A = this chain, B = another copy of it.
Amino acid sequence: MRRDVFQAIADPTRRAIIMLLTVGAMTPNAIADHFESSRQAVSKHLKILTECEILSQEQKGREIHYHLNADKMKDIEKWLEQFKQLMAKRFDQLDIVLEQLKSKRK
Protein backbone atom coordinates (compact mmCIF):
# COMPACT_ATOMS: atom_id res chain seq x y z
CA MET A 1 0.00 0.00 0.00
CA ARG A 2 1.78 3.09 -1.27
CA ARG A 3 1.09 6.05 0.97
CA ASP A 4 2.81 9.25 -0.02
CA VAL A 5 1.83 12.87 -0.53
CA PHE A 6 1.42 12.45 -4.28
CA GLN A 7 -1.02 9.60 -3.87
CA ALA A 8 -2.81 11.61 -1.20
CA ILE A 9 -3.46 14.66 -3.36
CA ALA A 10 -4.54 12.54 -6.33
CA ASP A 11 -8.11 12.55 -5.04
CA PRO A 12 -10.13 15.77 -5.46
CA THR A 13 -12.01 15.30 -2.17
CA ARG A 14 -8.74 14.97 -0.30
CA ARG A 15 -7.40 18.10 -1.97
CA ALA A 16 -10.55 19.91 -0.86
CA ILE A 17 -10.14 18.62 2.71
CA ILE A 18 -6.58 19.95 2.76
CA MET A 19 -7.79 23.34 1.58
CA LEU A 20 -10.58 23.32 4.15
CA LEU A 21 -8.20 22.59 7.01
CA THR A 22 -5.94 25.52 6.19
CA VAL A 23 -8.54 27.53 8.09
CA GLY A 24 -8.07 25.48 11.22
CA ALA A 25 -8.58 22.09 12.87
CA MET A 26 -11.93 20.35 12.43
CA THR A 27 -13.78 17.23 13.52
CA PRO A 28 -14.77 14.52 10.98
CA ASN A 29 -18.44 15.48 11.20
CA ALA A 30 -17.70 19.16 10.63
CA ILE A 31 -15.52 18.26 7.65
CA ALA A 32 -18.11 15.89 6.20
CA ASP A 33 -20.72 18.66 6.40
CA HIS A 34 -18.79 20.50 3.70
CA PHE A 35 -19.06 17.65 1.21
CA GLU A 36 -21.57 15.49 -0.59
CA SER A 37 -19.74 12.41 0.63
CA SER A 38 -20.90 10.48 3.68
CA ARG A 39 -19.15 10.73 7.01
CA GLN A 40 -17.62 7.28 6.55
CA ALA A 41 -16.24 8.15 3.14
CA VAL A 42 -14.68 11.32 4.53
CA SER A 43 -13.34 9.34 7.47
CA LYS A 44 -11.50 7.04 5.06
CA HIS A 45 -9.93 10.03 3.38
CA LEU A 46 -8.91 11.38 6.78
CA LYS A 47 -7.28 8.06 7.57
CA ILE A 48 -5.25 8.15 4.39
CA LEU A 49 -4.24 11.78 4.93
CA THR A 50 -3.23 10.95 8.51
CA GLU A 51 -1.25 7.89 7.45
CA CYS A 52 0.92 9.97 5.15
CA GLU A 53 1.27 12.61 7.84
CA ILE A 54 -0.55 15.43 6.11
CA LEU A 55 -2.98 15.46 9.01
CA SER A 56 -2.56 14.81 12.72
CA GLN A 57 -5.22 13.90 15.27
CA GLU A 58 -5.93 15.55 18.58
CA GLN A 59 -8.41 13.82 20.84
CA LYS A 60 -10.72 16.08 22.82
CA GLY A 61 -13.26 14.10 24.75
CA ARG A 62 -15.24 12.09 22.22
CA GLU A 63 -14.27 14.46 19.45
CA ILE A 64 -11.14 14.24 17.32
CA HIS A 65 -9.71 17.41 15.86
CA TYR A 66 -7.79 17.01 12.64
CA HIS A 67 -4.90 19.41 12.20
CA LEU A 68 -3.10 20.21 8.98
CA ASN A 69 0.63 19.60 8.83
CA ALA A 70 1.49 22.16 6.18
CA ASP A 71 5.11 21.08 6.17
CA LYS A 72 4.29 17.84 4.37
CA MET A 73 3.16 19.86 1.40
CA LYS A 74 6.80 20.81 0.89
CA ASP A 75 7.44 17.34 -0.52
CA ILE A 76 5.42 18.33 -3.57
CA GLU A 77 7.10 21.70 -3.72
CA LYS A 78 10.50 20.04 -3.63
CA TRP A 79 9.62 17.72 -6.48
CA LEU A 80 8.28 20.62 -8.55
CA GLU A 81 11.44 22.59 -7.85
CA GLN A 82 13.55 19.66 -8.97
CA PHE A 83 11.50 19.45 -12.14
CA LYS A 84 11.89 23.14 -12.85
CA GLN A 85 15.62 22.95 -12.36
CA LEU A 86 15.87 20.12 -14.87
CA MET A 87 13.83 22.17 -17.32
CA ALA A 88 16.11 25.16 -16.80
CA LYS A 89 19.12 22.99 -17.52
CA ARG A 90 17.46 21.87 -20.70
CA PHE A 91 17.04 25.45 -21.86
CA ASP A 92 20.61 26.22 -20.89
CA GLN A 93 21.72 23.49 -23.26
CA LEU A 94 19.42 24.91 -25.88
CA ASP A 95 21.07 28.30 -25.50
CA ILE A 96 24.46 26.72 -26.07
CA VAL A 97 23.20 25.04 -29.21
CA LEU A 98 21.74 28.31 -30.47
CA GLU A 99 25.02 30.09 -29.75
CA GLN A 100 26.88 27.48 -31.73
CA LEU A 101 24.49 27.94 -34.62
CA LYS A 102 25.03 31.70 -34.51
CA SER A 103 28.81 31.46 -34.61
CA LYS A 104 28.64 28.90 -37.38
CA ARG A 105 26.75 31.37 -39.50
CA LYS A 106 29.60 33.84 -39.49
| A interface residue numbers (CB < 8 A to B) | 2, 6-7, 9-10, 12, 15, 18-19, 22-24, 30, 70, 73, 76-77, 79-80, 82-83, 86-87, 89-90, 94, 97-98, 101, 105
A23 engages B80 (CB within 8 Å): no
CA distance A76 to B101 in the complex (A): 29
Query: Which applies to chain A's interface (DSSP): helix, strand, loop or mixed?
Result: helix
Asked whether, in the complex, the Cβ of B76 is within 8 Å of the Cβ of A80, the reply is yes
Is B80 touching A77 in the complex (CB atoms < 8 A)? yes
Interface contact B101-A87, CB-CB below 8 Å: no
Q: Are B83 and A24 in contact (CB under 8 A)?
A: no
Contact of A90 among B22, B86, B90 (CB under 8 A): B22
The verdict on A22 contacting B77 (CB below 8 Å), with A6-B10, A10-B6, A10-B7 known, is no
